[in-house]
Structure 1
Amino acid sequence: MQEALLRAKPAVVLVIAEVSAEVTLDCGAGPTTVTPPVFRETGTGWFVDGRGWIITNGHVVQPAHTPPRWLVNQQAQRAVTTACLPKVLQRQGIIPGERPDVEDAVKRRLLDQVLPTTKVKLNPQVSVVISSGARFKAEVKKYSPPVSNEPGVMSGRDLALLLIPGAEFPVLPLADSKVGRIGDPIHILGFPGVVLSHELLNQSASVEASVTNGAVSGFKQDVTNQPVIQTDAPAAWGNSGGPAVDQKGAVLGVLTFVSLAPGPEGSIVQGFNFVIPSDAVREFVKDTEVKIEGKSKFTDAWFSGLREFFSEDWKAAARYFEAADKLVPNLPDVKRVLGETRENIKNPPPRPFPWFWVAVGVTLLSGAGYGGQFGLRWHRNRYRIQPSEVIRMLEAGKAPIVLDVRRTEVYDALPLKIPNSVRLAPEELASGVGGLELDTTRPVVAYCT
Structure 2
Amino acid sequence: MSKCIRTIKFFGKRATFLACAAVLMSSLLPLKGSGAYSQAAYVTEQALPAVVLVYSRIDYSGTFYIPWTWGPEAFTFTRYVSSMGSGFFVNPNGYLVTNGHVVFCFMSKNFKDDSITKNYIIQDAVYALLSWYQQQYGITFSQTDVQITLDYNTRYGQIEESYRSTYVILGEAQGDVIEAKRGISATVVNADPFLGRDLAILKVELSNTPSLLIGDSDKVRTGDTVYAFGYPGVVAFHPQLSVNTLLAPSVTQGIVSGKRLTQQDISAIQHSASTTHGNSGGPLLDENGKVIGVNNMGSITELGLEVAGFNFAVASNVLRDFLRENGVGNSVGDTTSHFQKGLAFYYAKMYASAKKEFDIVTTLFPYQWRATQLSQECQASISNGEKASSSITASVSPESVKVKKESITVSGYIMHASEMPIGVNFSWPTSQVTIQYTRPDGSTINHAVLISTEGAFTDTFVPDVAGQWSIKASWQGDDDHAGATSSVLTLTVTEPTVIEIMTETGIIYLIPVALVAVVAVILMKRKSKAATPLPPPPSG
1:45-444 counterparts in 2 under 5 A? 45-63=87-105, 65-67=110-112, 68-72=114-118, 74-76=120-122, 78-79=124-125, 82=128, 95-97=138-140, 100-101=141-142, 105=145, 108=148, 112=152, 116=156, 118-131=158-171, 133=173, 135-147=183-195, 156-263=196-303, 266-293=304-331, 295-349=332-386
Which residue identity is paired with 1:17? Answer: S
**8 Å Cα contact 2:65/2:149 also seen in 1:** no
* In 2, Cα distance between equivalents of 1:310 and 1:110: 58
Per-residue displacement from partner, 1:68-91 (whole Å, max 9, x unpaired)?
A: 33543554565466557866997x
Per-residue displacement from partner, 1:235-278 (whole Å, max 9, x unpaired)?
A: 10111111111222211211122111221xx2321221112222
* In 2, Cα distance between equivalents of 1:80 and 1:314: 58
* In 2, Cα distance between equivalents of 1:88 and 1:315: 63
Which residue does 1:35 correspond to in 2?
Answer: 78
1:350 shift after superposition: 7.7
* In 2, Cα distance between equivalents of 1:86 and 1:7: 48
**8 Å Cα contact 1:132/1:330 also seen in 2:** no
* In 2, Cα distance between equivalents of 1:178 and 1:114: 43
From the superposition, tell whether residues 121 and 318 of structure 1 become closer, same or farther in structure 2 (CA, over 3 Å).
same
Residue 342 of structure 1 aligns to a residue whose secondary structure is: helix
**8 Å Cα contact 2:56/2:103 also seen in 1:** yes
Query: Going by fraction, where is strand more abundant, 1 or 2?
Result: 2
* In 2, Cα distance between equivalents of 1:319 and 1:350: 15
Which residue identity is paired with 1:163? Answer: K
Which residue does 1:11 correspond to in 2?
Answer: 50
* In 2, Cα distance between equivalents of 1:9 and 1:345: 24
- Root-mean-square deviation (CA, aligned residues, Å) is 3.2
1:227 shift after superposition: 2.2
From the superposition, tell whether residues 106 and 259 of structure 1 become closer, same or farther in structure 2 (CA, over 3 Å).
closer
Query: Going by fraction, where is helix more abundant, 1 or 2?
Result: 1
* In 2, Cα distance between equivalents of 1:114 and 1:181: 46
**8 Å Cα contact 1:15/1:43 also seen in 2:** yes
From the superposition, tell whether residues 225 and 198 of structure 1 become closer, same or farther in structure 2 (CA, over 3 Å).
same
Per-residue displacement from partner, 1:66-125 (whole Å, max 9, x unpaired)?
A: 1433543554565466557866997xxx7344xx54x95499479859973745321222
Larger deviation, residues 227-236 vs 76-85: 76-85
Residue 286 of structure 1 aligns to a residue whose secondary structure is: helix
**8 Å Cα contact 2:238/2:246 also seen in 1:** no
From the superposition, tell whether residues 106 and 283 of structure 1 become closer, same or farther in structure 2 (CA, over 3 Å).
closer
- Runs (5+) with no aligned partner, structure 1: 148-155, 358-449
**8 Å Cα contact 1:47/1:171 also seen in 2:** yes
Aligned length: 337
Per-residue displacement from partner, 1:315-359 (whole Å, max 9, x unpaired)?
A: 1111000111122225432222111111111213487999xx9xx
* In 1, Cα distance between equivalents of 2:46 and 2:355: 16
**8 Å Cα contact 1:85/1:110 also seen in 2:** no
1:144 shift after superposition: 1.6
1:12 shift after superposition: 0.4
Residue 339 of structure 2 aligns to a residue whose secondary structure is: helix
**8 Å Cα contact 2:126/2:149 also seen in 1:** no
1:174 shift after superposition: 1.4
**8 Å Cα contact 1:81/1:107 also seen in 2:** no
* In 2, Cα distance between equivalents of 1:308 and 1:213: 25
Which residue identity is paired with 1:72? Answer: K
- Runs (5+) with no aligned partner, structure 2: 1-38, 174-181, 392-416, 418-540
* In 1, Cα distance between equivalents of 2:154 and 2:258: 52
**8 Å Cα contact 1:241/1:255 also seen in 2:** yes
Larger deviation, residues 189-198 vs 123-132: 123-132
Per-residue displacement from partner, 1:173-224 (whole Å, max 9, x unpaired)?
A: 1122222222211100001111111112233434321000011121222223
Which residue identity is paired with 1:279? Answer: N
* In 2, Cα distance between equivalents of 1:112 and 1:178: 48
**8 Å Cα contact 1:85/1:107 also seen in 2:** no
**8 Å Cα contact 1:190/1:209 also seen in 2:** yes
Which residue identity is paired with 1:324? Answer: V
Residue 325 of structure 2 aligns to a residue whose secondary structure is: coil
Larger deviation, residues 267-276 vs 6-15: 267-276
TM-score by length of 2: 0.56
TM-score by length of 1: 0.67
**8 Å Cα contact 1:52/1:163 also seen in 2:** yes
* In 1, Cα distance between equivalents of 2:117 and 2:273: 32
Larger deviation, residues 26-35 vs 220-229: 26-35
Residue 245 of structure 2 aligns to a residue whose secondary structure is: helix
Percentage of matched positions with identical amino acids: 28
Which residue identity is paired with 1:236? Answer: T
**8 Å Cα contact 1:18/1:63 also seen in 2:** no
**8 Å Cα contact 2:361/2:368 also seen in 1:** no
From the superposition, tell whether residues 231 and 219 of structure 1 become closer, same or farther in structure 2 (CA, over 3 Å).
same
* In 1, Cα distance between equivalents of 2:387 and 2:362: 28
Which residue identity is paired with 2:343? Answer: L
